[in-house]
Amino acid sequence: MVRHQPLQYYEPQLCLSCLTGIYGCRWKRYQRSHDDTTPWERLWFLLLTFTFGLTLTWLYFWWEVHNDYDEFNWYLYNRMGYWSDWSVPILITTAAAFTYVAGLLVEGHLVLPHPGMFSPDPMGAIPPLRPTADFLFQDLLLWSQTQVLALCHIAVGQQMNLHWLHKIGLVVVLVATVVAMSAVAQLWEDEWEILLISLQGTAPFLHVGALAAITALSWIVAGQFARAERSSSQVAILGTFFAVVFTLYLAPLTISSPCIMEKKDLGPKPALIGHRGAPMLAPEHTLMSFRKALEQKLYGVQADITISLDGVPFLMHDTTLRRTTNVEEEFPELARRPASMLNWTFLQRLNAGQWFLKTDPFWTASSLSPSDHREAQNQSICSLVELLELAKGNATLLLNLRDPPREHPYHSSFLNVTLEALLHSGFPQHQVLWLPNRQRPFVQKVAPGFQQTSGSKEAAASLRRGHIQRLNLRYTQVSRQELRDYASWNLSVNLYTVNAPWLFSLLWCAGVPSVTSDNSHTLSQVPSPLWIMPPDEYCLMWVTADLISFTLIIGIFVVQKWRLGGIRSYNPEQIMLSAAVRRTSRDVSIMKEKLIFSEISDGMEVSDELSVCSDNSYDTYANSTTAPVAPRGSSSRAKILTDQSGH
Which residues contact residue 402 at a Cβ distance below 8 angstroms, ignoring those fewer than 6 apart?
304, 305, 306, 316, 317, 319, 340
Q: Catalogue all structural domains in the chain, each as residue range(s) with its CATH number.
A: 9-258+540-575 (no CATH), 271-319+383-523 (3.20.20.190), 587-646 (no CATH)
Mean pLDDT across the chain: 81
Are 61 and 177 in contact, with CB atoms under 8 Å apart?
no
What is residue 26's DSSP assignment? -
Model confidence over 481-527: pLDDT tens digits? 999 999 999 999 999 999 999 999 999 999 999 999 999 999 999 99
Between these two residues, 382 and 76, which has the higher pLDDT value?
382
What's the confidence (pLDDT) of residue 41?
73
Model confidence over 321-355: pLDDT tens digits? 999 999 999 999 999 999 999 999 999 999 999 99
Strand 514-517 with 492-496, pairing: parallel
Residue 65: pLDDT band (50, 70, 90) is very high
What's the confidence (pLDDT) of residue 563?
84
SS3 helix, strand, coil % of the chain, rounded to 5? Answer: 55, 10, 35
Q: Which residues of 589-602 are buried (b: 16+ CB within 10 A; e: fewer)?
A: eebeeeeeeeebee
Q: Return the closest-CA partner of residue 321 out of 447, 330, 312.
A: 330
* Burial class for 368, CB neighbours closer than 10 Å (0-12, 13-18, 19+): middle
What's the confidence (pLDDT) of residue 164?
77
In this structure, the number of other CB atoms found within 10 A of the CB of residue 487 comes to 15
Q: Which residues of 489-501 are buried (b: 16+ CB within 10 A; e: fewer)?
A: eebbbbbbbbbbb
- Distances from the Cα of 523 to the Cα of 282, 283, 637, angstroms: 17, 19, 88
Model confidence over 466-487: pLDDT tens digits? 999 999 999 999 999 999 999 9
Residues in the chain: 647
pLDDT over 60 at 11, yes or no: no
What's the confidence (pLDDT) of residue 645?
43
Strand 9-10 with 300-307, pairing: unpaired
What's the confidence (pLDDT) of residue 552?
97
Model confidence over 95-114: pLDDT tens digits? 998 888 877 765 433 333 33
Q: Which of 36-45, 83-92, 166-175, 352-361 has the lowest mean pLDDT?
A: 36-45
Are 352 and 379 in contact, with CB atoms under 8 Å apart?
yes
DSSP bridge partners of 470: 453, 492
What's the confidence (pLDDT) of residue 168?
87
What's the confidence (pLDDT) of residue 399?
98
